[in-house]
Every structure is written in C-alpha cells, then in structure tokens.
Amino acid sequence: MTPLTNHPEKPFDLPNHSISPTVAADGSSRSAPIFITGIGTEIGKTVVSSIIVEALGANYWKPIQAGIEEASDNEKVRGLISNSTSLFYDEVYKLKLPASPHIAARQEHERIDLEKINNEYTNIPSNCLVIEGAGGLMVPLNEQEFIIDLIELLRAKVILVSRNYLGSINHSLITAALCRQRKLEVVGWIFNDQYLQYEEEIASWSGYPKIASIPFEANITPQFVSEQAQQIKPKLLQCLYDKN
C-alpha cells in the first residue's frame, strides 16, 4: 500500500501564512519547535508532551488553554517532569470555558490572534521547545484560522498522537492526509492506550513512522513518564534528526 499522496488543493481554502523563517527576539535564527497535535480531543497529548519534554530535557509551552478544571495542562506537565532543566512558559490565552478555543474566547470577549502568539514565541529562548496544541489540526482558533495555521506560522515539526477507539484509524489517516496537503514536517506517530495491532498499518498507510506506543496507565506519575521517556528517546531522536 502506497502512502497517502498530496492533493493540490487546500481543504476549506484555508489561509496560508507566507512568512520568513521564525527568528528569536535578538534576531538570531532558531531551531524548529516540536508541535504535539493529535487526531482529536482527549487522546493523550498532555501525557505524550510530558514524556517528550522529559526525554529531550526540553521546555514546554501550551499557548492556548481552553477549559481549566483542577489544574491547567502547563501545571500537569510541570508536575510530571523529573529533570531540573525544563522551563515552562505561560499561556497566551488561558480561557475558562471547556470548548473550542474560538468559542471559549468569544465567551470572554476575546479573539485569538495568531500574530500575538507568534510574537510571544519569538521571545522564548531558542533551545528545544515542545508546544502542545488544543485538540486536532482543524480546531478553530478564530473565524478564519485553525490549529494547522498556527503550526505553519511557527514553522514547527509535528508529532501526531493517536489513541485507540472505534473510528481512530479513519481519524488518524484523515489527519495524516491533511498534514500532507499542507506540507507539514511530520516527525512521526506516538500511539497512546491499548492498540489492537494496527499501529504499524496506520504508519504504513500514512507514510509517517511510528515513534512509540505508550501503554495505558490509569495513574500517570513522574516515574511512569520518566520510564516511558527513556524507552522512546532513541527512536524519538532518530526520527527527529536522522534524515537518512
């Protein structure tokens, strides 16, 4: 089976940000951040973000938080990291309503501005940064722009998170197809939860490699995150930096 192919047209005629490569506030060039997105909501992006931050000793940023229960995702990730080097940057938009970001922002008489997020990004030091998105690629941020537009604007590498549920194969392949249509640089897949031996098929059909499979764990602890980080680190580094 050949990988999903590019399609010449963009779905929904979405805006395309034609910008120069992102630079730091001091004018220096910077390495691409790693953007964690997935095939939907509640599929384990925060746990996966924690594991990747721990594996790389990276910094963490979730620019848009919609819905806060006991703790924000920033606070959750901070509480799961064991290393002493990772830094955690404040949200640009911290919205109360647990809804699509554009609706949550509207509820608070705000409009999410991607250029404002990009400006904040340029002030973050240019060492390894993991950015956690909200929901999937087509989550609306305002009346015109989506998560995928933010990824393009930040010139980010993408790690896709998929979780096992009825319909997840379809959702995974649709996500992969959209990445190809928009020519995103996809590092690979991290599968979360108990899969039914079809991770390799999703990887093969999508044309993106499998980085790791994270087992189901009801009680996520720093020890679990540290153990998983050590396990996935070699393949993660290979997928990130080995282009051969």
- Report residue 181: phi and psi, to 5°: -60, -35
Q: Which residues are catalytic?
A: 62
The one-letter amino acid code at 124 reads: I
Is the CB of residue 55 less than 8 Å from the CB of residue 83? no
Type of residue found at 94 = K
| Interatomic CA distance for residues 134 and 108, integer angstroms | 18
- What is the biggest distance separating any 2 CA atoms in the chain, rounded to whole angstroms? 49
- Please report the beta strands in 14-167, taking only residues with DSSP state E, as ranges in sequence order: 34-38, 59-61, 64-66, 88-89, 93-95, 129-136, 157-163
CB-facing half-sphere around the CA of 198: CA atoms within 13 A? 15
Q: In what side-by-side order are the strands of the sheet with 59-61?
A: 88-89, 59-61, 129-136, 34-38, 157-163, 185-192, 210-214
**Structure tokens given for 101:** 């970001």
20, two tokens: 């120069």
3-class SS of residue 80: helix
Residue 163 and residue 190: Cα distance in Å, rounded? 9
